A = this chain, B = another copy of it.
Amino acid sequence: MTIKAIVIPVLIAGAVITTNMASAEDGLESYRNRFEALPHLPPIPADNSLTEEKIELGNMLFFEPRISSSGVISCATCHNPALGWADRIPRAVGHDGQIGERNTPTVLNSGFLESQFWDGRAADLEAQALGPIEAPVEMAMDLEMALDRLVGFELYQEKFGEAYPNQEDPITDDNLAHALAAFQRTLNTPSSPFDRYLHGDQEAISEQAKDGMVAFVDNGCIACHRGSNFTDSQFHAIQVPGSTDLGRYVVTEEESDKYRFRTPTLRNVAVTYPYMNNGATETLEEAVAIMGQEMLGREFDDDTIGDITAFLNTLTGEMPEFEVPALP
């Protein structure tokens, strides 16, 4: 493997990152130390304890199409476990075949994010959960009607009762959101090859992927894609080819937030194509090149693109366990 002899300060999002050439071994160690393995669970909020009962209920609700107005769209339609818990099309297709504005983010490891949606308009999974149910281009459902449908099933009365004991009428919007959030906090991929590498298994990733790790640091990708979930949770301005999406501005209406999007995770990025807020970028190589140009002002050569892509491919973890529930 080769360590690139790049010694430059890279200024991104206010952080100065200085990289140094060193002996190959020391060098790798110092690079490796810039990363964090993924914990098995994300932080659990004090007001939504992670109980087996809530997880089971959330699992049912995640696959429940009757909480959409058509009766055929569930969370799992766009966050499809067969497709990296996303949909592998550019932009989400929802109610009556309407096409949304943005690419579906994976729910994998979403409990580690400090805000939800591309524009961060929900602070946490609880605040996120009901949005797609009500969104006219997604499940297009009146929330009261969704709750009424759930009330109509004895099994849901029982399961909500078990998940939220001592509540007289536990089938509420809050409890629905909390159960979905609880289930999603279990959908993590902590055992990627790169995590195994960080835990000390030198053979877990290829030499090319190690070169990619170095390039990822040296070129400053890590400035934004950092921490155990490869995101700084900050909003950065970017206009990828074909996008006119105003991003964070839609939420804050502050001029300075135009075209800003929350840094997406890179975990499982190889299985959650296509890329960018508009899903217009099909391959990882293309995405790496675009990010080099747009965010770093660099034209990566083919070797660098290949190395970084090899590195990103090591971030695909083992898919989490879940049940295909027997719905009532």
Contact surface of A with B, Cβ cutoff 8 Å: 63-66, 70-72, 77-78, 80-83, 87-89, 93, 95-97, 271, 319, 324-327
Please tell me if the beta carbons of B319 and A82 are within 8 angstroms of each other in the complex.
Answer: no
Least CB distance, A129 to chain B, in whole angstroms: 19
What is the chain B residue whose CB lies nearest that of A97?
Answer: B96
- Partner of A95 from the list B82, B83, B97, B326 (CB cut-off 8 Å) is B97
Q: Find chain B residues with CB under 8 A from A72 CB.
A: 77-78, 87, 89, 93
Q: Find chain B residues with CB under 8 A from A66 CB.
A: 88
Task: Provide a sorted-by-A list of 10 A–B residue pairs whose CB atoms are within 8 angstroms.
Answer: A64-B82, A70-B93, A70-B97, A71-B87, A71-B88, A72-B87, A72-B93, A82-B324, A88-B327, A95-B97
What is the chain B residue whose CB lies nearest that of A69?
Answer: B97
Q: Find chain B residues with CB under 8 A from A324 CB.
A: 81-82, 324
Please tell me if the beta carbons of A71 and B95 are within 8 angstroms of each other in the complex.
Answer: no
Least CB distance, A49 to chain B, in whole angstroms: 26
Least CB distance, A104 to chain B, in whole angstroms: 10
Least CB distance, A140 to chain B, in whole angstroms: 9
**Contact status of A82 and B63, CB under 8 A, knowing A96-B96, A97-B95:** yes
Please tell me if the beta carbons of B71 and A93 are within 8 angstroms of each other in the complex.
Answer: yes
Complex CA–CA separation, A97 to B327 (angstroms)? 22
Complex CA–CA separation, A124 to B69 (angstroms)? 34
What is the chain B residue whose CB lies nearest that of A94?
Answer: B72
Complex CA–CA separation, A63 to B81 (angstroms)? 10
Q: Find chain B residues with CB under 8 A from A327 CB.
A: 82-83, 88
Please tell me if the beta carbons of A89 and B71 are within 8 angstroms of each other in the complex.
Answer: yes
What is the chain B residue whose CB lies nearest that of A66?
Answer: B88
Q: Find chain B residues with CB under 8 A from A87 CB.
A: 65, 71-72
